[in-house]
Structure 1
Amino acid sequence: MSDSVEAQDDSYAAARLRLLNEEARSGPPRRAALAALTDRWLAGLAADAAEATGTGGWALLAVGGYGRGELSPRSDLDLVLLHDSEKSVGALADRLWYPVWDLGLALDHSVRTPDEARKTAADDLKVQLGLLDARHLAGDQALSSGLRTAVLADWRNQAPKRLPALLELCQERAERQGELSYLLEPDLKEARGGLRDATALRAVAASWLADAPREGLEEARTRLLDARDALHLVTGRATDRLALQEQDQVAAALGLLDADTLLRQIYEAARRISYASDVTWREVGRVLRARESRPRRRLLGRSRSTPAGSTPERVPLAEGVVEQEGEAVLALAAKPERDPVLPLRAAAAAAQAGLPLSLHAVRRLAAAARPLPEPWPAEAREQLVTLLGAGESTVQVWEALEAEGLITRLLPDWERVRCRPQRNAVHRFTVDRHLVETAVQAAGLTRRVGRPDLLLTAALLHDIGKGWPGDHSEAGEVIARDVATRIGFNSADADTLALLVRHHLLLIDTATRRDLDDPETVRAVAGVVRDTSTLELLAALTEADALATGPAAWSTWRASLLAELVERVAGALDTGALPEAAERDSTAEEERLAIEAARTHGPVLALHAHAEPDGEGEALDEALGVELLLAVPDRPALLAQAAGVLALHRLGVRAADLRAVDPIGEGPVALLSWRVSAEYGALPEAARLRADLARAFEGTLDIEARLAEREAAYPRRRGVTPPPPRVTVAPGHTSQTATVLEVRAHDAPGLLHRIGLALTATGVTVRSARISTLGANAVDAFYVVGKDGKVLPPARAAEVARQVEAALR
Structure 2
Amino acid sequence: MTGTDVRTQAEDSGPSGYAAARLRLLTEGARSGPPRRAALAELTDDWLAGLFTAAAQDTAGVSLVAVGGYGRGELSPRSDLDLLLLHDGGDPGAVAALADRLWYPVWDLGLALDHSVRTPAEARKTAGEDLKVHLGLLDARHLAGDLGLTAGLRTAVLADWRNQAPRRLPELQALCVERADRQGELQYLLEPDLKEARGGLRDVTALRAVAASWLADAPREGLADARRSLLDVRDALHLATGRATDRLALQEQDQVAAGLGLLDADTLLRQVYEAARVISYASDVTWREVGRVLRSRAVRPRLRAMLSGGKPAPERSPLAEGVVEQDGEVVLARAARPERDPVLPLRAAAAAAQAGLPLSLHAVRRMAAIVRPLPTPWPAEAREQLVTLLGSGRPTVDVWEALEAEGLISRLLPDWERVRCRPQRNAVHVWTVDRHLIETAVRASELTRRVSRPDLLLVAALLHDIGKGWPGDHSVAGEIIAKDVAARIGFDRADVAVLSALVRHHLLLIETATRRDLDDPATVRSVAEAVGTQGTLELLHALTESDALATGPAAWSSWRGSLVADLVRRVSAVLAGDAPEEPEPAAPTAEQERLAIEAFRTGGPVLALRAQTEPVTGEEPAGGPEPLGVELLIAVPDQPAVLPAVAGVLAVHRLTVRTAELRTLRLPDDVRTGSSGSVLLLNWRVAAEYGSLPQAARLRADLVRALDGTLDIAGRLAERDAAYPRRRGWTAPPPRVTVAPAASHHATVIEVRAQDAPGLLHRIGTALEKAGVRVRSMHVSTLGSNAVDAFYVTTGVGAPLPGADAASLAQALEETLRG
Q: TM-score range with shorter-chain normalisation?
A: over 0.9
Paired letter, 1:60: L
719-728 vs 103-112, which moves further: 719-728
Residue number in structure 2 paired with 1:69: 73
Cα distance, 1:298 vs. partner? 5.6
Cα distance, 1:645 vs. partner? 1.0
Which of 686, 711, 714 does residue 676 from structure 1 map onto? 686
CA contact (8 A) 2:11 2:46 kept: no
Which of 185, 189, 193 does residue 191 from structure 2 map onto? 185
Paired letter, 1:92: L
Which of 527, 531, 534 does residue 532 from structure 1 map onto? 534
Paired letter, 1:47: T
Q: Distance in 1 between matches of 2:748 and 2:622?
A: 46
Which of 22, 41, 49 does residue 35 from structure 1 map onto? 41
Residue number in structure 1 paired with 2:299: 293
Cα distance, 1:755 vs. partner? 0.8
Q: Distance in 1 between matches of 2:755 and 2:721?
A: 15
Could you say if the C-alpha distance between residues 620 and 684 of structure 1 is closer, same or farther in structure 2, counting changes exceeding 3 Å? Answer: farther
647-656 vs 502-511, which moves further: 647-656
1:772 aligns with 2:774: no
Cα distance, 1:616 vs. partner? 8.7
Cα distance, 1:663 vs. partner? 4.3
Q: Distance in 2 between matches of 1:706 and 1:34?
A: 54
1:688 aligns with 2:698: yes
1:655 aligns with 2:664: no
Paired letter, 2:13: A
Could you say if the C-alpha distance between residues 457 and 663 of structure 1 is closer, same or farther in structure 2, counting changes exceeding 3 Å? Answer: farther
CA contact (8 A) 2:467 2:475 kept: yes
Residue number in structure 1 paired with 2:769: 760
Residue number in structure 2 paired with 1:316: 318
SS of match in other structure, 2:753:
strand
1:137-189 deviations in whole A, cap 9, x for unaligned?
A: 11111100100000001111111111111011101111111100001111110
Paired letter, 1:48: A
Residue number in structure 2 paired with 1:639: 643
1:346-390 deviations in whole A, cap 9, x for unaligned?
A: 000100111111101101110111110000011100100110001
1:604 aligns with 2:606: yes
Residue number in structure 2 paired with 1:425: 427
Q: Percent identity?
A: 74
Cα distance, 1:639 vs. partner? 1.0
1:217-238 deviations in whole A, cap 9, x for unaligned?
A: 0000000001111111111111
Q: Distance in 2 between matches of 1:334 and 1:619?
A: 53
Q: Distance in 2 between matches of 1:709 and 1:397?
A: 52
Q: Distance in 2 between matches of 1:604 and 1:273?
A: 61
Residue number in structure 2 paired with 1:783: 792
- Correspondence list, 1:306-705, <5 A: 306=312, 312-610=314-612, 621=627, 624-665=628-669, 666=672, 667-705=677-715
96-105 vs 625-634, which moves further: 625-634
Q: What count of residue pairs does the alignment treat as equivalent?
A: 797
CA contact (8 A) 2:10 2:47 kept: no
Cα distance, 1:66 vs. partner? 0.8
Could you say if the C-alpha distance between residues 710 and 473 of structure 1 is closer, same or farther in structure 2, counting changes exceeding 3 Å? Answer: closer
- Correspondence list, 1:169-248, <5 A: 169-248=175-254
CA contact (8 A) 1:320 1:342 kept: yes
Q: Distance in 1 between matches of 2:201 and 2:779?
A: 46
Residue number in structure 2 paired with 1:806: 815
- Correspondence list, 1:255-266, <5 A: 255-266=261-272
Q: Distance in 2 between matches of 1:442 and 1:584?
A: 38
1:30-77 deviations in whole A, cap 9, x for unaligned?
A: 1111111111111111011103xx564101110111111111111111
SS of match in other structure, 2:576:
helix
Cα distance, 1:531 vs. partner? 1.0
Cα distance, 1:617 vs. partner? 5.9
CA contact (8 A) 1:132 1:203 kept: yes
200-209 vs 607-616, which moves further: 607-616
Q: Distance in 1 between matches of 2:10 and 2:213?
A: 44
Could you say if the C-alpha distance between residues 679 and 6 of structure 1 is closer, same or farther in structure 2, counting changes exceeding 3 Å? Answer: farther
Which of 717, 726, 734 does residue 736 from structure 2 map onto? 726
Paired letter, 1:341: V
1:95 aligns with 2:104: no
Q: Distance in 2 between matches of 1:568 and 1:127?
A: 65
Residue number in structure 2 paired with 1:740: 749
Paired letter, 2:680: A
SS of match in other structure, 1:605:
strand
Q: Distance in 2 between matches of 1:288 and 1:212?
A: 16
174-183 vs 680-689, which moves further: 680-689
Q: Distance in 1 between matches of 2:718 and 2:255?
A: 36
1:612-643 deviations in whole A, cap 9, x for unaligned?
A: 8998967984xx23221112222222111111
Gaps of 5+ in 2: 1-8
CA contact (8 A) 2:59 2:145 kept: no
SS of match in other structure, 1:80:
strand
Q: Distance in 2 between matches of 1:394 and 1:4?
A: 56
Could you say if the C-alpha distance between residues 167 and 612 of structure 1 is closer, same or farther in structure 2, counting changes exceeding 3 Å? Answer: farther
CA contact (8 A) 2:11 2:17 kept: no
CA contact (8 A) 2:10 2:17 kept: no
454-463 vs 589-598, which moves further: 589-598
Paired letter, 1:670: L
Cα distance, 1:584 vs. partner? 3.3
SS of match in other structure, 2:778:
strand
Paired letter, 1:771: V
CA contact (8 A) 1:598 1:664 kept: no
1:122 aligns with 2:132: no
Q: Distance in 1 between matches of 2:390 and 2:68?
A: 42
Paired letter, 2:533: D
CA contact (8 A) 1:46 1:96 kept: yes
Q: Distance in 2 between matches of 1:489 and 1:218?
A: 42
Q: Distance in 1 between matches of 2:206 and 2:681?
A: 63
598-607 vs 452-461, which moves further: 598-607
Cα distance, 1:600 vs. partner? 3.2
SS of match in other structure, 1:348:
helix
Paired letter, 1:689: L
CA contact (8 A) 1:75 1:106 kept: yes
Structure 2 length-normalised TM: 0.95
Could you say if the C-alpha distance between residues 617 and 540 of structure 1 is closer, same or farther in structure 2, counting changes exceeding 3 Å? Answer: closer
Cα distance, 1:296 vs. partner? 4.2
1:541-595 deviations in whole A, cap 9, x for unaligned?
A: 1111101110111111111111111111011111242332332344343333233
SS of match in other structure, 2:56:
helix
1:137 aligns with 2:136: no
Cα distance, 1:698 vs. partner? 3.2
SS of match in other structure, 2:657:
strand
CA contact (8 A) 1:745 1:778 kept: yes
1:688-707 deviations in whole A, cap 9, x for unaligned?
A: 11222223233333322333
Paired letter, 1:468: W
SS of match in other structure, 1:743:
strand
Structure 1 length-normalised TM: 0.96
Q: Distance in 2 between matches of 1:533 and 1:434?
A: 25
Q: Distance in 2 between matches of 1:533 and 1:556?
A: 24
Please tell me the root mean square deviation across aligned C-alpha atoms, in Å. 1.9
Cα distance, 1:432 vs. partner? 0.6
Paired letter, 1:652: T
CA contact (8 A) 1:5 1:45 kept: no
Residue number in structure 2 paired with 1:59: 63
Could you say if the C-alpha distance between residues 301 and 404 of structure 1 is closer, same or farther in structure 2, counting changes exceeding 3 Å? Answer: closer
